[in-house]
């Protein structure tokens, strides 16, 4: 007979399994950003970043645009690293002061990256199409909203609300990473059927919206399972997170193999 705490353990293990795969995938993403963009800056060969297709990458004669583009990319890696640190319980318990200051760093960089992203899309012209632009902008607006809510709840010492808002902000900040693994997963399914992904088509727009909406929905279901007294909800949510862990691992591996590694 199951002990009363078994459903809680299943839910916790599902969350841990997903976070472990996310940690691996994001570590690969951070490494790519550091090597690809950092290497170009260190060598002084900024045009090298155009080896990876961008809508508008490095452009000679556009120092402000280039600064925004490169800063956005490098800060994207830094905010990902800061967010991962915040979610490791052992680090949080051992260095609570670092957790607080790193949280401030995470929220500040998240706002900077979001605002520079708006500028790159709507002013510099780093655009794939209207549907994608709207999706990215909605993602950005939600980042701003939940980052500010997380900040406000922390100042009020409402740590339960702070945790929920901070997790939402973290998932939304990682929308660019979710988009990449989503595209890889979609490609793994569609390529054998001879279906190519058109970056202005419905499939890409759907994956773009899902890259920030689906993680939010799963997180809300997780919060409900945490609060629920019904064991089946916790067991079911633990299983869902286990499936998402496998998908995250597959998508991250595909992104590393086919999207990041080839241009290094």
DSSP annotation string for 105-118: HHHHHHHHHHHHHH
Domain boundaries along the sequence of the chain: 9-263
Using the predicted structure, report yes or no on whether residue 1 has a pLDDT greater than 70.
no
What's the pLDDT tens digit per position in 52-61?
766 778 888 8
Using the predicted structure, report yes or no on whether residue 2 has a pLDDT greater than 50.
no
Instruction: Give ∠ CA 75-135-127 in degrees, rounded to 5.
Output: 70
pTM: 0.92
Separation CA 177–CA 76 (nearest Å): 10
Task: Judge whether 56 and 117 are in contact, CB under 8 Å.
Answer: no
pLDDT at 112: 94
Q: Which of 100, 108, 107, 137 is nearest to 122 (CA)?
A: 137
For 89, the enclosing helix (H) or strand (E) is: helix 89-94
Mean pLDDT score across all residues of the chain: 91
What's the pLDDT tens digit per position in 108-161?
999 999 999 999 999 888 878 888 899 999 999 999 999 999 999 999 999 999
What's the pLDDT tens digit per position in 48-98?
888 776 677 888 888 898 999 999 999 999 999 999 999 988 888 899 999
Separation CA 173–CA 168 (nearest Å): 9
Residue position matching structure tokens 């007979």: 1
């Amino acid at each position: 007979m199951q002990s009363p705490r078994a459903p809680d353990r299943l839910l916790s293990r599902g969350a841990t399994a997903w976070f472990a795969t996310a940690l691996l995938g994001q570590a690969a993403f951070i490494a790519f950003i550091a090597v690809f963009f950092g290497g170009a800056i260190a060598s002084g060969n900024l045009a090298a970043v155009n080896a990876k297709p961008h809508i508008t990458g490095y452009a000679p004669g556009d120092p402000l645009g280039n600064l925004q583009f490169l800063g956005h990319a490098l800060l994207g890696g830094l905010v990902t690293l800061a967010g991962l640190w915040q979610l490791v319980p052992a680090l949080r318990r051992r260095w609570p002061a670092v957790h607080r200051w790193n949280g401030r760093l995470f929220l500040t960089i998240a706002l900077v990256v979001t605002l520079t992203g708006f500028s790159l899309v709507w002013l510099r012209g780093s655009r794939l199409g209207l549907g994608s632009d709207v999706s990215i902008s909605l993602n950005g607006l939600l980042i701003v909203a939940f980052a500010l809510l997380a900040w406000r709840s922390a100042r009020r010492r409402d740590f339960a609300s702070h945790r929920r808002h901070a997790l939402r902000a973290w998932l939304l900040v990682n929308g660019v990473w979710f988009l990449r693994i989503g595209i890889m997963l979609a490609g793994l399914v569609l390529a054998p059927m001879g279906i190519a992904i058109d970056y202005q088509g419905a499939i890409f727009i759907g994956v773009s919206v899902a890259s920030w909406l689906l993680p939010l929905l799963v997180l809300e279901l997780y919060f409900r399972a945490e609060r629920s007294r019904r064991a089946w909800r916790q067991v079911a949510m633990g299983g869902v997170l286990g499936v998402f862990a496998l998908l995250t691992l597959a998508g991250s591996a595909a992104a590393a193999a086919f999207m990041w590694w080839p241009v290094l």
